[in-house]
Structure 1
Amino acid sequence: MAPARSEAAPHDTSNNVHPTIPPPAGPHPSYIQVAKPYVFERTVHECIAATGVDQLREDNIRLQGVTWIDNFRKALHLPVRTFNTAAIYYHKFRLVHPESEYNYLDAAAAALFIACKIEDTLKKSRDILCSAYNLKLPPAEHLSADDPLFESHSRGIIGLERLMLESSGFDFRNRHPQKPLIKLIKHFNFDKNSKTSRVAYGMSLDLYRTFAPLKQTSATMAFACLELAGRLLNDRHERVESGRL
């Protein structure tokens, strides 16, 4: 085997040798990255700035992706917990990967696919794609999940699955504010069918259209939804607003 030849350092017109720029240093071999259950607001802004997308477009893509997830989890009759988990993975993925690397609808489908696995509401990637396709067509033109039309797209979603898990730090801890919210409604003697309770529950779902679930605990979000619903509907509760149980 011939010895490798070292390349000569670049010269300028005055025959001065420029030093070779070393490659950027990577992490130490002993470095271990631990999954973070919560992130700071500053971290979110830094990640968005690093991806190079402007704030208005970021808002549009985030809302469209979560709306897609919500629409098709309803079409597939999936529970709220699957929607929560899918939205979390969608947000974490987009904070790490620039928009140019993927289509946001593919990312939303991959997030829903992963959430179905984690929450034991198993659906194949073909089932998700088939449901999304059939919702746009009249019943007479519906296709089955085994149609070859979904083959390549299904493989693309499976390919995004690994990247999405890496973006989350392989963190499978899931939080659902709806459970503590229902407990708080009972604890503070709100009627579960009252307008305040229903508005608070709707807010707990709308929170997942924002980055709030990445930054706050389930109890904090549940209290915030119940307090805000009471303020909006003039059904205020002193103990709720003071945070006293």
Structure 2
Amino acid sequence: MRRASSVPENCNNKWYYTRAQIDNNPSRRAGLDPDKELSYRQQAANLLQDMGQRLNVSQLTINTAIVYMHRFYMVQSFTRFHRNIISPAALFLAAKVEEQPRKLEHVIKVAHACLNPQEPSPDIRSDAYLQQAQDLVILESIILQTLAFEITIDHPHTHVVKCTQLVRGEHLVLLWCFCASLPLDLPVWVCCCCCCCSQ
């Protein structure tokens, strides 16, 4: 059962999960232990952050890619799709969605630099590079299909920024702590609570 109790009626709650659903995701069913799965998610998020900074995309774009990665692995398994090939595809897609597109060539080169810092940049005329480019485009399509083309993300951070303009300085720490402690709740709901708590 999904977390319907805190989700408004008109909201698509497809991506909100109970603890039991999280504990029974495809990676766990494939035999991956919870600590290893958490480590893989953290490694993928760190790779996305590093790549995003090197590609000079906004933090919002990086956050969108991280959400895509987390959602993808609630439907697919880490044992089937390696985090180091899904992450570049997720960032490539997120950059398009957030209107900061980056060239496929740049994404591949940055991914290579992050994952293989000691090796030279791949030759864009090589068969290996061309295969990697083709694979990334295919993986982007797999991510889109896995996410059922639901690519618009309502990030809580944008609502928090708006709320901070309404809240006095002495309440900002309280506001931020409250928001940070409720990462699984709906972004708008969290911000409404923050505004009420700060008054």
Bin for the TM-score computed over the shorter chain: 0.7 to 0.9
Equivalences, count: 181
- The structure whose Rg is larger is 1
Q: Which runs of 5+ in 2 are unaligned?
A: 1-11
* Aligned equivalent of 1:231: none
Q: Which runs of 5+ in 1 are unaligned?
A: 1-33, 225-239
Q: How does 1:32-181 map to 2 (within 5 A)?
A: 36-47=14-25, 48-134=27-113, 136=117, 146-148=124-126, 149-181=128-160
Gap change, CA 1:181 and 1:147, over 3 Å in 2: farther
TM-score in terms of structure 2 length: 0.75
Percent sequence identity over matched residues?
A: 18
TM-score in terms of structure 1 length: 0.62
* Aligned equivalent of 2:4: none
Give the AA of the match of 2:158.
K
What is the root-mean-square deviation of aligned Cα atoms in Å?
3.3
1:243 counterpart = 2:197: yes
Give the AA of the match of 1:86.
A
Distance in 1, matches of 2:125 and 2:113, equals 12
Q: Which moved more, 1:120-129 or 1:71-80?
A: 120-129
Q: Please tell me whether the aligned partners of residues 167 and 195 of structure 2 are also in contact (alpha carbons under 8 angstroms).
A: no
Q: Please tell me whether the aligned partners of residues 35 and 169 of structure 1 are also in contact (alpha carbons under 8 angstroms).
A: no
Distance in 1, matches of 2:192 and 2:129, equals 43
Distance in 2, matches of 1:39 and 1:178, equals 20
Runs of 4+ in 1 over 4 A off after TM superposition: 141-144, 220-224
Give the AA of the match of 2:139.
L
Secondary structure of 1:99's aligned partner: coil
